Amino acid sequence: MAHRTDALFRDDAYLRRADATVVAVNDRGAIILDRSIFYATSGGQLGDTGHIERGDGSRIAIAAAITGETKDEIIHVPAPEQAGPWIGEKVSLAIDWDRRHLLMRMHSACHLLSVVCPFPITGAAVSEDDSRVDFDMPDASFSKEEVTASLMDLVRADHPIFTRLISDEDLAANPGLVKSKNVRPPVGTGSIRLVCIGDNASVDSQPCGGTHVKSTGEVGEIHIGKIEKKGRENRRFRIRFGPMPAN
C-alpha cells in the first residue's frame, strides 16, 4: 500500500528541519514518514540527502530520497548498515541544506533558461554543480555568451519567485504554460502547481513540483558552460555557477 507523505517542502522550500513520525520501514530498510522535508528525485531535480535523528540522539544517514509506488510517497533510503527505526517512532529530520540550496538555485536557473530560450523542452537534469536543459530547436543561433548575458539580466533584476495553484481546467485553457514537449503535468488531482517568476508572473509561469529560491537574485552568478548539438533538432545547454571562464 502506498502512503501519502505530507511534502512540507512544497509550501516552504526553506525548511531545513522538521519532526515526523515513522509510518513504515520496508524490507530493504527504506523509511516512510508521515511528513518530510526531503525532496524525492523527480521532475529532473535530484532528491535530498541528510539524516534522521532518533529519540535516543543517534542518527540515520539518508543517502537518497525517491518516490515510491505513487508520486505522493517519499521513500528515505538510508546509507548501508544502519539500524532502522521502529514504526510509530518520533524522529527529527535534517536535510543537507548547502546541497539543497545549490539545487534550488540551479532549478530556478533552468526556469530562467527556458525564458531566454523559448523552445519546447525535451529533457532536463538539475544537479548541484552542473545542470542541463535540452531544447527542441533547429538552429544553434544562440551563443553561450549571449544566453549568459540574458540570464544574468534576469538574475540582476531580482524578480520574485513564488508558487500558485491553478485548476486542471485553467491549465487546459492555457496550453502555452506547458513547456515540456514530452512530459505532461499530472492532471486529475484538481489542481496544478505553477512556479511563477516576476510580479504577477510577468516573466514566467510553468507547472513544476520542484524547490526554488524566492527571487532570481538568489540564483547568483551563473553561466552557460556549453551548448551541445544532440541530434538534428536538439540542443543541450549546460548551466554552471560562477562567471564564465575566460578562454
Nearer to Zn ion (CB atom), residue 210 or residue 225:
210
Task: Write down the least CB distance from residue 123 to Zn ion, Å.
Answer: 12
- Cβ atoms of residues 200 and 232 within 8 Å: no
How many residues belong to the chain? 247
Part of the chain binding Zn ion (CB under 5 A), chosen from 52-60, 72-80, 131-139, 200-208: 200-208
Member of 13, 91, 201, 208 binding Zn ion (CB under 5 A): 208
Site string for Zn ion, 151-190 (x = CB under 5 A): ----------------------------------------
Which neighbouring-strand residues pair with 166?
192
Whole-angstrom distance between the N-terminal and C-terminal Cα of the chain? 55
In whole angstroms, the minimum distance from the beta carbon of 207 to Zn ion comes to 8
Binding segment for Zn ion among 2-10, 180-188, 203-211, 231-239 (CB under 5 A)?
203-211
Minimum separation from the CB atom of position 111 to Zn ion (A): 6
Shortest distance (Å) from residue 93 CB to Zn ion: 23
Q: Point out which span in 4-12, 72-80, 131-139, 201-209 binds Zn ion (CB under 5 A).
A: 201-209
> In the β-sheet with 131-136, what is the strand arrangement from edge to edge?
121-125, 131-136, 234-241, 222-229
Min dist. Cβ of residue 219 to Zn ion (A): 13
210 binds Zn ion (CB under 5 A): yes
Distance CA 14, CA 29 (A): 28
Angle in degrees, CA 235, 239, 245, rounded to 5: 110
Contact present, 20 and 5 (Cβ < 8 Å): no
Copy the grid coordinates of residue 126.
538539475
Q: Please, are residues 95 and 50 in contact by the beta-carbon 8 Å criterion?
A: yes
The least CB distance from residue 174 to Zn ion, in Å, is 17
**Which 128-157 residues touch Zn ion, going by CB under 5 A?**
none
The residue with its CB nearest to Zn ion is 208
Kindly indicate which of the ranges 72-80, 136-144, 179-187, 202-210 contains the residues binding Zn ion, using the contact rule CB under 5 A: 202-210
Given a contact cutoff of 8 angstroms between Cβ atoms, the answer to whether 96 and 50 are in contact is yes
**Residue 78 makes contact with Zn ion by CB under 5 A:** no
Instruction: Single out the segment in contact with Zn ion by CB under 5 A; choices: 15-23, 74-82, 147-155, 208-216.
Output: 208-216
Output DSSP code: residue 216. Answer: G
Please count the CA atoms within 13 angstroms of the CA of 247 that sit on its side-chain side.
Answer: 5
Reading the block at residue 120, the C-alpha cell is 519546447
Q: Where are the beta strands (DSSP E) in 176-221?
A: 191-197, 204-207
Can you give the binding site for Zn ion, defined by CB under 5 A?
208, 210
